[in-house]
């Protein structure tokens, strides 16, 4: 039987690009989490630097807005002693009609070692990965509604940090799963890492049809979906990817699906709450929860630095 090669792996089965959590074996996900754990010591030192990527040129290509991902990739690359170049897309030759592939070809001619790509079009990082020369690595920093693998991985790191054992957890993902690249990356990572029960909770209009084929349990009633869960992952309404009306109003969404203290009380008392950001308070999450004792939303951001250091250092070594 012919099995298509995973475009993220080299001929030795090692990670060469990071494009998606889908199809990555558990060993590689665990390698990333363990490597990130080894970097948390570096990030707590007075001199937060190691020389692993000294002399490497890493290009941040963000064709779509970002606060957390772009900044933490830059911090992570600098902590690995790489040279980081942030291409300012709005003043680059993209604005004169240059194609993404021509931009990348020109940056490759400047001896780039790694591209970190965010794009509103699903598949853009895959396209770049197919066209760069074999020694260059590509990391997907979020493409359309398809994938956001480093976000999914930092979420796994956060869950493992607080809950230790994936194989004993019930995890709920609440909100706009339909338009969410984060949810897809989370679901693939959670199921690969052995979480026995992953639930998605939302109105029919915001859940992909056949989402159950991904191995998740579907709930439209949040009071049933949150019952006794260990982890709640909230998602914002991704209005920028919605064409047409999916909801009566944000107020109605908050009433039915917004995570407030009353709804969170249905989860286990020691349940943790994650959110990838940016948050819309009063829409998908109430401030009492976002800032409450069960929230691990800001630790997620900090762990994102170690995860991105881990991914870049693993790629550079393969």
- Is position 142 an interface residue for ligand CP (rule: CB under 6 A)? yes
- What string marks each residue from 50 to 89 as x (binds ligand CP by CB under 6 A) or -? ----------------xxxx--------------------
Alpha-carbon distance values, 23 to 26, 167, 257, 295 (Å):
9, 19, 31, 30
- Structural contact between residues 53 and 313, judged by C-beta atoms closer than 8 angstroms: yes
- Structural contact between residues 42 and 97, judged by C-beta atoms closer than 8 angstroms: no
- Among residue numbers 161 through 200, which ones bind ligand CP (CB under 6 A)? none
Q: Which residue in 195, 198, 180, 192 sits closest to 275, CA to CA?
A: 180
Region label for 97, one of left (φ > 0), alpha (ψ between -120 and 50) or beta (otherwise): left
| Closest distance of CB 62 from ligand CP, Å | 8
- Is position 239 an interface residue for ligand CP (rule: CB under 6 A)? no
Instruction: Please pick, from the candidates 6, 60, 151, 191, the single residue that binds ligand CP as defined by CB under 6 A.
Output: 151
Compute the distance between CA of residue 200 and CA of residue 206 in angstroms, rounded to an integer.
Answer: 10
Compute the distance between CA of residue 190 and CA of residue 155 in angstroms, rounded to an integer.
Answer: 10
Closer residue to ligand CP (CB): 22 or 143: 143
Alpha-carbon distance values, 15 to 71, 131, 137, 156 (Å):
23, 17, 9, 18
- What string marks each residue from 85 to 124 as x (binds ligand CP by CB under 6 A) or -? ----------------------------------------
Closer residue to ligand CP (CB): 142 or 258: 142
For residue 143, which phi and psi values (nearest 5 degrees)? -125, 115
Angle at 35 between CA 30 and CA 41, to 5 degrees: 135
Instruction: Please pick, from the candidates 76, 124, 276, 315, the single residue that binds ligand CP as defined by CB under 6 A.
Output: 276
Closer residue to ligand CP (CB): 108 or 140: 140
Closer residue to ligand CP (CB): 170 or 310: 310
Closer residue to ligand CP (CB): 135 or 240: 240
Instruction: Please pick, from the candidates 149, 203, 208, 277, the single residue that binds ligand CP as defined by CB under 6 A.
Output: 277
Q: Number of residues interacting with ligand CP: please give it, by CB under 6 A.
A: 10
Residues that bind ligand CP (CB under 6 A): 66-69, 142, 148, 151, 276-278
């Amino acid at each position: 039987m012919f099995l298509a090669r995973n475009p993220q792996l080299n001929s030795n089965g090692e990670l060469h690009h990071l494009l998606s959590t889908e199809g990555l074996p558990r060993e590689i996900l665990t390698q990333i989490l363990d490597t990130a754990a080894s970097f948390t010591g570096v990030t707590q030192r007075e001199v937060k630097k190691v020389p692993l990527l000294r002399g490497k040129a890493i290009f941040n290509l963000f064709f779509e807005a970002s606060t957390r991902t772009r900044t933490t990739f830059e911090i992570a690359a600098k902590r690995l002693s790489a040279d980081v170049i942030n291409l300012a897309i709005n003043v680059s030759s993209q604005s004169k009609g240059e194609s993404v592939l021509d931009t990348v070809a020109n940056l490759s001619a400047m001896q780039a070692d790694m591209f970190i790509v965010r794009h509103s079009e699903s598949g853009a990082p895959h396209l770049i990965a197919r066209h760069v020369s074999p020694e260059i690595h590509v990391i997907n920093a979020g493409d359309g509604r398809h994938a956001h693998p480093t976000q999914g991985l930092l979420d796994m790191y956060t869950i493992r940090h607080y809950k230790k054992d994936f194989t004993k957890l019930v995890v709920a993902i609440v909100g706009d799963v339909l338009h969410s690249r984060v949810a897809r990356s989370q679901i693939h990572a959670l199921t690969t890492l052995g979480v026995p029960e992953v639930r998605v909770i939302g109105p029919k209009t915001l859940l992909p049809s056949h989402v159950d084929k991904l191995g998740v349990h579907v709930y439209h009633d949040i009071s049933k979906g949150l019952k006794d869960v260990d982890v709640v992952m909230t998602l914002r309404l991704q209005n920028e990817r919605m064409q047409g009306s999916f909801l009566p109003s944000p107020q109605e969404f908050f009433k039915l699906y917004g995570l407030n203290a009353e709804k969170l009380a249905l989860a286990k008392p020691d349940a943790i709450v994650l959110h990838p950001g940016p948050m819309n308070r009063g829409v998908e999450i109430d401030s009492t929860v976002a800032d409450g004792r069960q929230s691990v939303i800001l630790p997620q951001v900090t762990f994102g630095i170690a995860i991105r250091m881990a991914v870049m250092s693993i790629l550079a070594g393969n």
